[in-house]
Amino acid sequence: MSKPKQGLLFAANSRSAAAPRGTKGKPLKRAARVRKSAPPRGGKKREPSPVSAETMAHSQRDISVSEFFAKNRHLLGFDNPSKALLTTIKELVDNSLDATDEARILADVEIRVDQLAEDRFRVTCIDNGPGIVAKNVPLVFGKLLFGSKFHRLKMSRGQQGIGVSAAGMYGLLTTGHPVRVISRISPKKPANLFEIAIDTQKNQPAIKHQDSVEWDRERGTSVEIELEAQYRKGQHSVDNYIRQISLANPHATLRYFPPHRDRDEDVIVYERVTDELPPETAEIKPHPYGVELGVLMQWLRESKSRNLPGFLASEFSRVSSRLAQ
């Protein structure tokens, strides 16, 4: 039997003797050194002082609707550059078709999309509608929630009065250029030119330029918006939208000038296939089952009826005087 070497035996005994052991014979672990963090400069860290109600009251103020949508423009359809271009054209075309249908005019709409830079476009929409009175042009294109359809109880393309003014606001935010509008209501009157911006803090139009100009159209409206956008082809493209809107409005003629064209003769024309205007939508009163209690109470306060049966018969559909009793 071989004897262990003295050097190895001495080293093992020295390690076992040096390492402290616990109650079960296992060596104890050395405690890690804890570094104390240096105190912050200038003494103790100050905690923020509590804010009083009076201090909070000084920072509270009204928020205009245009200021809200300027910071939340994705709610209006301006999520990304390609969708912004489509939304702008949609709002302009809808306004033109609404104006011509309401005036009982066969629509003739021209849409131009000019690419000024890689991510900048100028959209122009010209129609043969009745035009807009000069005093209302700044409000229509420079103020959100201004329109004539919100209080109507009839179907229409737009109701809130946000769309076209929101498109102009998006163009102003992305390029700094105001909306350029030319409108004429009669061949006997001159056309009015406006360059309109939106004061988002007050939700009021800011007229940058106004003048009377010569125009080759007897009546109608031309709207020009410059914006940052992106032109794409495909199912959700501007080209496909123009084609679909022509199918949905066979009484309208649409002339579309795409951005990637060599000359103005390269125009896509969707001719009208009928000279018959669609029937005008009629207003219909609401049914009692579709009215909430709070709205009903407000209508009762504003009603001119002298009694409840008269109110029910005059303000609701499918409610006769006999049924109201």
> Taking residues 266-276, what's their average pLDDT?
93
Percent of the chain with pLDDT over 70: 82
Rounded to whole angstroms, what are the CA distances from 152 to 145, 284, 292? 14, 9, 18
Q: What's the CATH code, domain 66-270?
A: 3.30.565.10
Task: Say what the pTM is.
Answer: 0.74
Tell whether the model's pLDDT for residue 233 goes beyond 60.
Answer: yes
User: Residue ranges of the domains in the chain?
Assistant: 66-270, 288-324
CA atoms within 13 Å, Cβ hemisphere of 272: 14
pLDDT over threshold 80, residue 246: yes
Helix 308-315 vs helix 293-302: crossing angle, to nearest 10: 110
- Token reading at 58: 């000084």
Supply the DSSP symbol for 128: -
135-164: average pLDDT: 75
Go through the chain and tell me how many residues it has: 325
Residue 226 pairs with which residues in a beta bridge? 122
Average pLDDT, the chain: 83
Contacts 24+ apart (CB under 8 A), 249-253: 249/97, 249/107, 250/274, 251/106, 251/107, 251/275, 251/276, 251/277, 251/278, 252/97, 252/100, 252/106, 252/107, 252/108, 252/109, 253/106, 253/107, 253/108, 253/109
Cβ-contact 193, 211 below 8 angstroms: yes
Q: Give residue 304's Cα distance to chain centre.
A: 38
Cβ atoms 224, 179 nearer than 8 A: yes
Question: Range with the lowest mean pLDDT among 33-47, 109-123, 289-303?
Answer: 33-47
Strand 253-257 relative to strand 108-117, pairing: parallel
CB 291, CB 273: distance < 8 Å: no
